[in-house]
């Protein structure tokens, strides 16, 4: 697909939320007033110094930002090429980047006078982060979660309940993330006045992809400053894992207009792209409409959405944030798949060489770094987003390694 190249890759989306041919707001008529109301408040909030001060305060004192930019010296030596830095977002409160977005959106919900928060969750990480900020602000929280996921992710379901959230299992479809998101959208239309829908990734109808990106861009902004302080220049390459695309766009966006910085997004290649068991919507999908926006999707020839597969629950969303679809087609960002087995090997390598147990999602990004770093010069620099810690994945890893906990 040919798209005209923009003057700036950072300027989008346009007023209808379009990134080139992607994005937009394909929603039922009943949802449109809510979307426009949200957009109005978001436009005001992003310019409001008081909102910014409140957000900065929570980022610092509640999440623990800025997260360190860490030089992985042993891993760099082991791979024998480019210098590898990690942006340590796994050290955030609740263990991943998800909280960056939740803190921003709950402040927005309060500005809008909303008294009830709903969210969707797949693996439960976004559900836990949402339940966390709802506890912090004393707001009731309802989390929609596919029934299959409720069974698979029992510890996160328990965490959400401890935090005071109500978890509603969704039995429609295959009972996974896509179905949970449909149900949350339905709730939103029914409870317009009281309710704020806190979406967990840079997808959904406009303005969600933009506002989630802005809240996550704290990752890339800090990285720029920290890299200038550490090396006096920008990195040569950025690498991040993409599920819905929020941690990746958060790192990438502040660098999109720096032509000398190459950027790589890593999708879940699962058990290989030949079969059905993967979640590489950009590499192996086709454009269509899901959850209010036009983007690359895993779908069959009738346009039915397929179930994705990945060893990491956080990467198996059959769509992708629309900005990534546009960055793919304009070729500003390169997207590649990494298989389950490669991610498992990377997970073990990082644990042993740096003493950091990563989540399986960033282990995908790391597997790509392991391929690329040795081919680069020693004076080149890669920054990888280490967007989550691995505690949640130790059972999965043990099973795949044939070990018992
Ligand atoms: C949820 C999650 C992801 C995938 O979501 P994105 O929106 O693509 O960032 C990746 N890594 C971790 C640790 C997650 O919890």
CB 43 within 8 A of CB 67: no
pLDDT computed for residue 405 by the predictor: 84
Mean pLDDT to the nearest integer, 81-108: 98
Mean of all residue pLDDT scores within the chain: 96
Q: Would the pLDDT of 6 be above 90?
A: no
CB of 204 shorter than 6 A to ligand 1: no
162 vs 335: CA distance, rounded Å:
38
CB of 363 shorter than 6 A to ligand 1: no
**Ligand 1 atom nearest 387 alpha carbon:** 13
Ligand 1 atom 3: residue of nearest CA: 314
> 44-90: per-residue pLDDT in tens?
999 999 999 999 999 999 999 999 999 999 999 999 999 999 999 99
DSSP per position, 154-203: HHHHHHHHHTT-EEEEE-STTSSHHHHHHHHHHHHHHTTTTEEE--SSS-
Answering whether pTM is above 0.85, one says yes
CB of 242 shorter than 6 A to ligand 1: yes
**Ligand 1 atom nearest 388 alpha carbon:** 13
Distance 246 CA to ligand 1 centre (A): 7
Q: Would the pLDDT of 2 be above 60?
A: no
Mean pLDDT to the nearest integer, 208-221: 98
Mean pLDDT to the nearest integer, 302-319: 90
Distance 205 CA to ligand 1 centre (A): 19
Distance 29 CA to ligand 1 centre (A): 30
CB of 241 shorter than 6 A to ligand 1: yes
Ligand 1 atom 2: residue of nearest CA: 314
CB of 226 shorter than 6 A to ligand 1: no
Mean pLDDT to the nearest integer, 355-380: 98
195 vs 199: CA distance, rounded Å:
13
CB of 312 shorter than 6 A to ligand 1: no
Domains of the chain, earliest start first: 19-59+98-212 (3.40.50.1100), 64-95+216-400 (3.40.50.1100)
pLDDT confidence of 191, banded at 50, 70, 90? very high
**Beta pairing, strands 69-71 & 83-87:** antiparallel
pLDDT computed for residue 3 by the predictor: 60
């Amino acid at each position: 697909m040919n798209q005209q190249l923009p003057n700036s890759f950072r300027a989008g989306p346009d007023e209808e939320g379009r990134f080139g041919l992607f994005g937009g707001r394909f929603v039922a008529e009943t949802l449109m007033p809510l979307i426009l109301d949200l957009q109005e408040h978001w436009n005001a909030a992003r310019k409001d110094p008081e909102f910014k001060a409140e957000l900065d305060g929570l980022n610092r004192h509640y999440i623990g930002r800025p997260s360190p930019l860490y030089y992985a010296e042993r891993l760099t030596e082991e791979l024998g090429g480019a210098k590898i830095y990690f942006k340590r977002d796994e050290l955030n409160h609740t263990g991943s980047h998800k909280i960056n977005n939740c803190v921003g959106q709950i402040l927005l919900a309060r500005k809008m006078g909303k008294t009830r928060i709903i969210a969707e969750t797949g693996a439960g990480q976004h559900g836990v982060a949402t339940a966390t900020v709802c506890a912090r602000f004393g707001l009731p929280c309802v989390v929609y979660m596919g029934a299959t996921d409720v069974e698979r992710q029992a510890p996160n379901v328990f965490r959400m309940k401890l935090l005071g959230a109500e978890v509603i299992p969704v039995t429609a479809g295959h009972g996974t993330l896509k179905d949970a998101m449909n149900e949350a959208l339905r709730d939103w239309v029914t409870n317009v006045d009281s309710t704020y829908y806190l979406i967990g990734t840079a997808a959904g109808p406009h303005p969600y992809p933009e506002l989630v990106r802005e809240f996550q861009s704290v990752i890339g902004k800090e990285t720029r400053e920290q890299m200038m302080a550490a090396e006096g220049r920008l990195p040569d390459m950025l690498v991040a894992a993409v599920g819905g695309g929020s941690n990746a766009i958060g790192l990438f966006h502040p660098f999109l207009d720096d032509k000398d910085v190459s950027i790589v997004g890593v999708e879940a290649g699962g058990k290989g792209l030949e079969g059905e068991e993967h979640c590489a919507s950009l590499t192996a999908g086709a454009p269509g409409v899901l959850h209010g926006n036009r983007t690359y999707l895993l779908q069959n020839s009738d346009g039915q959405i397929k179930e994705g597969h990945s060893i990491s629950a956080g990467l198996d969303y059959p769509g992708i944030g629309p900005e990534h679809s546009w960055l793919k087609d304009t070729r500003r960002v390169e997207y590649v798949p990494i298989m389950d087995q490669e991610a498992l090997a990377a997970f073990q390598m990082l644990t042993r060489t740096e003493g950091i147990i990563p989540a399986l999602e960033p282990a995908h990004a790391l597997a790509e770094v392991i391929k690329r770093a040795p081919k680069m010069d020693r004076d080149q620099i890669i920054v990888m987003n280490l967007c989550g810690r691995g505690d949640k994945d130790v059972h999965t890893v043990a099973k795949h390694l044939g070990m018992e906990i």
